[in-house]
Amino acid sequence: MKNISYSQNFFKNIHLLNVLIKNSEITKNDLVIDIGAGTGTITYSLSHFASKVISIEKDKNLYKKLLNKFDSIDCVKVVNENVLKYKFPDVLYKVFANIPFSLTSDIVKTLTTQKNKPDDIFLFMQKRPAINYYGKPLTRESIKSLLIKTDFTSSIVYQFKRSDFSPSPHVNIVLIRFKKRRQSLLQPKDIKLWKDFISFTFNKSSPNVKKAFQIIFPDKIINNIFSFIKPNSSPGDIDINQWIKIYGLFKKTPPVRRQIVANFYKRLLYQQSKLHKIHRTRFDKSWKDNKPT
């Protein structure tokens, strides 16, 4: 099995780490979770700023080293578990972590869809996916950015030097923040329809949203929508507030129209998983050694 130490870039700039945590609004009242704790560098720094730190590490060898390292530090709890299956606390908590980049999408989805969502999330992430999660105004919106923005605001906090890591990564790394909104832009009962609606419009809009809207909206509502967005807009050109407004119009349409998008998000995830499996099988013969359990 592939050694995890070769599949993760460990952070080594301790001074910078302490500055970032100090500026993160983490206080002695906070429970903070470190995901993919590795050698414990981030966990150790967090232990000086937070009330309690939960250090999650899947690799058994690293877990044993973490147990030994933090044996005498009472505020640190080390957990040997796959974070994708971890039962997160039912009290207020924050996340500050240098996650394995190969699991970025799964970890972000896990964190942002918890019933009790983190109050604040700081993740070390490759710059390109971080910008995609951030969306407008840095780049166009995506399905991922819009699904997150209903409950979180996003910001790029810092761009690291590649020399801050060991081994040095081949891509640029940033610290991205997802701060939970005081109030979600959607009611819990709307989440499923929202996911289906956004997935449908992104996948049926070619070259612009007009085609998708013509399938699910009557002409009168389409004219209303085009009074506050451009008719030739692509889905990514429309910001979160405009999308929420459009969704508000959609959920008032007759059930027969809402049925058009039913389960579209679930079907999209299934299609993506099949493509991912084919890609792994064709191009990475060792994927079975590295897949999350």
108 CB-near residues (< 8 Å, 6+ apart): 123, 133, 144, 148, 178
Residue 7 has pLDDT above 80, yes or no: no
pLDDT digits (tens, 9 = 90+) for 163-174: 999 999 999 999
Report yes or no on 257 lying in a domain: yes
Residue 37 and residue 97 share a domain = yes
Is residue 281 domain-resident?
no
pLDDT bucket at 119, cuts 50 / 70 / 90? very high
Same domain, 162 and 257: no
- ∠ Cα 70 76 79 (to 5°): 90
If you ran DSSP here, which 8-state letter would residue 117 be given?
-
Same domain, 15 and 133: yes
The CATH number of residue 45's host domain is 3.40.50.150
Please check whether residues 11 and 86 belong to one and the same domain: yes
pLDDT of residue 179: 98
- Supply the range of the domain harboring residue 211: 188-266
Residue-wise DSSP of 25-61: T--TT-EEEEES-TTSHHHHHHTTTSSEEEEE---HH
Arithmetic mean of pLDDT over the chain: 91
How many residues in total does the chain contain?
293
56 with 121, same domain: the answer is: yes
My answer on whether 80 and 136 are in the same domain is yes
Band (pLDDT 50/70/90 cuts) for residue 276 is low
pTM beyond cutoff 0.85: yes
Number of structural domains the chain divides into: 2
pLDDT tens figures, 189-216: 999 999 999 999 999 998 899 999 999 9
Q: What is the pLDDT of residues 125-143, one digit of tens each?
A: 999 999 999 999 999 999 9
